[in-house]
Amino acid sequence: MSVLIKGMKKPKTCYSIIDGEAKFCPFVNTDDDCVLLLGKKCYGTWEEQYADCPLVELPEKHGRLIDGDALWDVMSNHNDNEGAKMPFGYDDTSIHIDSACFVIENAPTVIEEE
């Protein structure tokens, strides 16, 4: 499982000097170790430590993020969220565009849009 910290941007480095002042990532402890990586291995440089950073940045102004696997299950079974059969395309092997739009609009949101 992962955690999203709303409003936080991924730091560009674990450590840098800005205007003569040392700046650390908020996840670097007083021993200069990343608390998110503790116990994984020792790092010789800040760059090596940052290369293993587990933080992932979402694109700015992204749309809502949905569970693609749940969406696939619904669409591949050709059922709407209530279990009713959805209208098909011309040959019963494809979902009508209106049905596809309905399923996408009603897919469970995992992360809200920004």
Per-residue pLDDT of the chain (114 residues; tens, 9 = 90+): 788 888 899 999 999 999 999 999 999 999 888 999 877 777 889 999 999 999 999 888 889 999 888 888 777 766 555 555 555 555 555 667 777 788 888 888 888 888
Residues 72 and 100 occupy one common structural domain:
yes
Question: In this structure, is residue 46 part of a structural domain?
Answer: yes
Residues 47 and 72 occupy one common structural domain:
no
- 101, two tokens: 């739009």
Q: How far apart are CA 22 and CA 46, in angstroms?
A: 13
- The residue segments making up the domain with residue 99 are 65-111
- CB of 78 closer than 8 Å to CB of 95: yes
Q: pTM for the whole thing?
A: 0.63
The pLDDT assigned to 94 comes to: 64
Question: In this structure, is residue 94 part of a structural domain?
Answer: yes
Q: How far apart are CA 105 and CA 107, in angstroms?
A: 6
Summarised one tens digit per residue, pLDDT across range 63-73 is: 999 988 888 87
Please count the structural domains in the chain: 2
- 96, two tokens: 């009508």
Task: List residues bridging with 34 in a β-sheet.
Answer: 28
Question: In this structure, is residue 39 part of a structural domain?
Answer: yes
Cα dihedral 95, 68, 108, 105, rounded to 10, equals -40
Tokens 């969220």 -> residue: 81
Question: In this structure, is residue 10 part of a structural domain?
Answer: no
Residues 79 and 46 occupy one common structural domain:
no
Q: Which long-range contacts (CB under 8 A, 24 or more apart) does 94-99 make?
A: none
The pLDDT assigned to 24 comes to: 95
The pLDDT assigned to 92 comes to: 57
Residues 34 and 70 occupy one common structural domain:
no
Question: In this structure, is residue 102 part of a structural domain?
Answer: yes
